[in-house]
Amino acid sequence: MRTLTTLAAIGGVMLLAGCAKNAAIQYQSLVHAYDTAGNGAYYDAQTEPTTQTGERVKADRSQWEAARQKLAAQKEAWTRALGSHGPSASRFYAPDAGTMAEYAALAEDRDAAEDLLAAGASRDDVTALAVLWNPDIRAAREKMRSKLEQYSQVAYLDDILLQHNAFAKQLTTTVGKPRQKEMMAMEYPFPDGLALKGRIVTEDVRVAERDVDIATRDVVTAARIAYYDYLFVGEAIRINGEAEELLNQMVYVAQAKLRVGIGKYHSVIMGQVELARLGDAILTLEEQREIVVARLNTLLDRRADAPLGAPTPVADDDVAAALDDLYLAGAQGAQELQKQRLMIARMGLMIEMATRMTYPDSTLGASYFEDRMKLSTGTKPTPPTFQTQRTPNLANAATFATGTAYVREAESRLSAMEEMLAGMTNMTELAIRKHHFGMDRARRSVALHRNSLLPQALQALDAASAAYQTARVDFVTLLDAERTLLRIQLGEQAALRDHRTHLAELDNAIGSAAPRKPLDLDDLGTTERDEGVDDDGAQE
Find out whether 106 and 95 touch, Cβ atoms under 8 Å.
no
Q: Which pLDDT value is given to residue 12?
A: 54
Q: Which pLDDT value is given to residue 50?
A: 47
Phi, psi torsion values for 341, nearest 5 degrees:
-65, -40
The yes-or-no verdict on residue 197 having pLDDT over 70 is yes
Average pLDDT, integer, range 237-260 = 90
Q: Where are the alpha helices (DSSP H) in 261-334?
A: 265-299, 323-333
Find out whether 152 and 335 touch, Cβ atoms under 8 Å.
no
Query: If pLDDT is split at 50, 70 and 90, which confidence band does 163 have?
Result: low
Q: Which of 13-17, 238-242, 263-267, 357-361 has the highest mean pLDDT?
A: 238-242
Q: Which of 22-26, 137-141, 311-315 has the lowest mean pLDDT?
A: 22-26
Amino acid letter, residue 440: D
Average pLDDT, integer, range 349-365 = 68
C-alpha to C-alpha distance for 251 and 468, rounded to whole angstroms: 12
Query: If pLDDT is split at 50, 70 and 90, which confidence band does 446 have?
Result: very high
C-alpha to C-alpha distance for 141 and 143, rounded to whole angstroms: 5
Q: Which pLDDT value is given to residue 228?
A: 97
Please give the C-alpha separations between residue 57 and each of 76, 160, 161, in angstroms, as whole numbers. 35, 24, 21
CB hemisphere CA count around 266 (13 angstroms): 2
Amino acid letter, residue 342: L
Amino acid letter, residue 80: R
Tens-place pLDDT, residues 70-105: 878 888 888 887 776 554 545 688 888 888 889 989
Q: Which pLDDT value is given to residue 75?
A: 82
Average pLDDT, integer, range 235-258 = 91
The yes-or-no verdict on residue 69 having pLDDT over 90 is no
- pLDDT: which is higher, 94 or 290: 290
Residues near 237 by beta carbon (within 8 Å), at least 6 away in sequence: 282, 285, 286, 289
C-alpha to C-alpha distance for 464 and 475, rounded to whole angstroms: 9
Query: If pLDDT is split at 50, 70 and 90, which confidence band does 385 have?
Result: very low
Find out whether 225 and 128 touch, Cβ atoms under 8 Å.
no
- pLDDT: which is higher, 73 or 21: 73
Q: Which of 287, 248, 245 is nearest to 268 (CA)?
A: 248
Average pLDDT, integer, range 337-360 = 85
C-alpha to C-alpha distance for 429 and 431, rounded to whole angstroms: 5
Proportion of the chain above pLDDT 90, given as a percent: 46
Q: Which pLDDT value is given to residue 179?
A: 45
Q: Which pLDDT value is given to residue 37?
A: 54
Strand partners, 516: 319
Q: Which of 363-372, 433-442, 458-467 has the lowest mean pLDDT?
A: 363-372
Please return the burial class of 426, using the count of CB atoms within 10 Å of its CB with bins 0-12, 13-18 and 19+: exposed
Q: Which of 68-82, 179-193, 428-442 has the lowest mean pLDDT?
A: 179-193
The yes-or-no verdict on residue 28 having pLDDT over 60 is yes
